[in-house]
Amino acid sequence: MFKDITIGQYYPTGSVIHRLDPRTKLLLTFGFIVLLFVARNLWGYLVAAVFITVVVLVSKIPFSYVLRGLKGIIFIICLTMILNVFMTPGEAVAKIGFLTITKEGIAVSVYMAVRLILLVAGTSVMTLATTPMDLTDGMEYGLRLIPGFKRFAHELSMMMSIALRFIPTLMEETDKIIKAQKARGADFESGNLVARAKALVPIMVPLFVSAFRRADELATAMEARCYRGGENRTRMKVLKMTSLDAWAFVVFALFTVVIIAMNHLPLPLPFPFN
């Protein structure tokens, strides 16, 4: 029942993308998102789509996995499309009752949808190709560079890695509790809304009890080992950039140049984008 969640789900293939330094991947993903907003016409998005497709192919992650992340935002995409189609002022194309579809509206809504899809695809590839632990290490490094955040960077990333670490555990736990209550004849599927909400009590109570128990045990274990975060703490695994990362930056620089060039080249555009 939790199989649709892609964020935080690592898909190991050992590809070149997987072997990149997490800082590289984070930085380039951020760069990719920025470029999605720099691109101003269809050609730019086409280049971005080709780019992300190539990245997925190189990462050897099946497309179905990357697209799974989209399921969750289909509603948001549809909503923004509908709103944009009707609300954008401009040259009218069609009229439905009191609503007017404009040429600019169609263009804007298509751009928005493409942008969102590419954005989710880009971040999904990153999370699928990076272990959660690497990801938080990379984030800690990034946070330390922001002025004022240096003091909390370690704590924040520690919290995040603990949270990420426990997501699968809690899911497993939930799965087990559901099965156990089903074995006691619990029915989660029939009845009206109130009955269904009530049926959740036998799941939620044990789940909370176990989450608190785990948190308590973890805190005790950390204290018993004299855990003290932040200053002077060294790492067992030190992040290291390699020539692979240098190449990734070179490829991305090329991509950036092409995207910006697309904004200025006098390429022909079809209706309604001209």
Partner 1 sequence: MALEIKQLSHIYSKGSPFESVALKDIDAVIETGEFIGLIGHTGSGKSTLIQHLNGILKPTSGTVCIDGKDVFAQKKKDMIALRHAVGLVFQYPEHQLFEETVYKDVAFGPKNLKLDEKTIDRRVRDAVTLVGLPETVLDKSPFSLSGGQMRRVAIAGVVAMEPQILILDEPTAGLDPHGRDEILREIKKLHAEKKMTVILVSHSMEDISRIADRILVLHQGEKVFFDTPAAVFREVETLEKIGLAAPEISYLIKRLRVKYPEIPDDIFTVEDAAAAIDHVLGGGRRV
Residue 102 φ/ψ, nearest 5 degrees? -110, 160
Handedness of CA 215, 216, 217, 222 (dihedral sign): positive
Q: How far is the CB of 9 from partner 1 (least distance, A)?
A: 10
Q: How far is the CB of 34 from partner 1 (least distance, A)?
A: 31
Which of positions 59-118 make contact with partner 1 (CB under 8 A)? Answer: none
Note whether 194 binds partner 1 by CB under 8 A: no
Candidates 147, 148, 185, 270: give the one binding partner 1 (CB under 8 A).
Answer: 185
Note whether 163 binds partner 1 by CB under 8 A: no
The CA distance from 85 to 91, in Å, is 12
Q: How many residues bind partner 1 (CB under 8 A)?
A: 21
Binding segment for partner 1 (CB under 8 A), chosen from 50-58, 95-103, 177-185, 231-239, is: 177-185
- Whole-angstrom CA distances from 143 to 26, 30, 229 are 12, 14, 15
Binding segment for partner 1 (CB under 8 A), chosen from 22-30, 131-139, 204-212, 242-250, is: 204-212
Note whether 182 binds partner 1 by CB under 8 A: yes
- Do 104 and 89 touch, CB atoms closer than 8 A? yes
Candidates 29, 41, 88, 181: give the one binding partner 1 (CB under 8 A).
Answer: 181
Note whether 179 binds partner 1 by CB under 8 A: yes
Q: Which is nearer to partner 1, 71 or 182 (CB)?
A: 182
Q: How far is the CB of 189 from partner 1 (least distance, A)?
A: 9
Residues 1-40: x where in contact with partner 1 by CB under 8 A, - otherwise, as a string: ----------xxx---------------------------
**CA angle (153 as vertex; 150, 155 as ends), nearest 5:** 130
Note whether 151 binds partner 1 by CB under 8 A: no
Note whether 184 binds partner 1 by CB under 8 A: yes
Note whether 57 binds partner 1 by CB under 8 A: no
Position 125: which residue type? V
Q: How far is the CB of 2 from partner 1 (least distance, A)?
A: 12
Q: Which is nearer to partner 1, 88 or 181 (CB)?
A: 181
**Residue numbers of the site for partner 1 (CB under 8 A)?**
11-13, 173, 176-177, 179-187, 201-202, 205-206, 209-210
